[in-house]
Amino acid sequence: MRSKERRKFFHKFLTETISFIEEINGRPQMRLSELKETPDEIIRTIVPKPNQHHHYYIEDGYVYKKKPELNMAEKIYELDPTEKYIIPLFDGKRSIEKISMYISNLLKLDYNESYKKVKNLFLFLTKFNLFHPLHAHERLKKE
């Protein structure tokens, strides 16, 4: 096993172990892949934070994910004019709801339209591990 693969294995193993310990201690965990099924009442409380292990930059209206191991970047998303204002707000200081209200007021958009844009951009960028929730959240049980 090469050292890079070994590091990935141990990182994943450690992450799974920590999640398991948290579950045993009564703190349910949620994977990023489960965010799409998360109710809006929880999504609104999520505070988006940049992933310190995966870097990105914005150039000419596109989001690029840096790939330092290949000394290059991958173009992953074209930002619309509204999203150019949203992405810098994913700084670990504001919830999705607060970002949505700010964008709604700043750009004179309907709140629901603003929320949908913020939510969809966050969910899309989490697929590339560029952002993640600042805090773990419990999923609300469906009644």
What is the average pLDDT score of the chain? 81
Domain that holds residue 25: 1-30
Kindly report, residue by residue over 4-58, the tens digit of the pLDDT.
677 666 655 545 555 545 556 555 455 555 566 678 888 899 999 998 888 999 9
2 and 60 share one domain: no
Residue scoring higher pLDDT (91 or 25): 91
Do 38 and 13 share a structural domain? no
- Look at residue 80 in the predicted model and tell me its pLDDT: 95
In-domain check, residue 140: no
**81 is written with which tokens?**
């004019």
pLDDT at 141: 40
pTM of the model: 0.73
What is the b/e burial string over 46-81, where b = at least 16 CB atoms within 10 angstroms of the residue's CB?
bbbebeeebebeeeeeebbbeeeeeeebeeebebee
Pair (67, 113) in one structural domain: yes
Residue 141 lies in a domain: no
* Residue 43 and residue 89 in one domain: yes
Domain count within the chain? 2
Q: Does some domain include residue 142?
A: no
Same domain, 25 and 51: no
In a shared domain, residues 103 and 47: yes
Q: Do 76 and 109 belong to one domain?
A: yes
Residue 111 domain-assigned (yes or no): yes
Separation between Cα atoms, residue 64 and residue 56, nearest integer Å: 5
Q: For residue 125, give the CATH number of its domain.
A: 1.10.10
Same domain, yes or no: 79 and 101 = yes
Is the domain of 12 the same as that of 59?
Answer: no
* In the predicted structure, residue 81 carries a pLDDT above the cut 50: yes
Residues 6, 71, single domain; the answer is no
Is residue 55 domain-shared with residue 117, that is, in the same domain?
yes
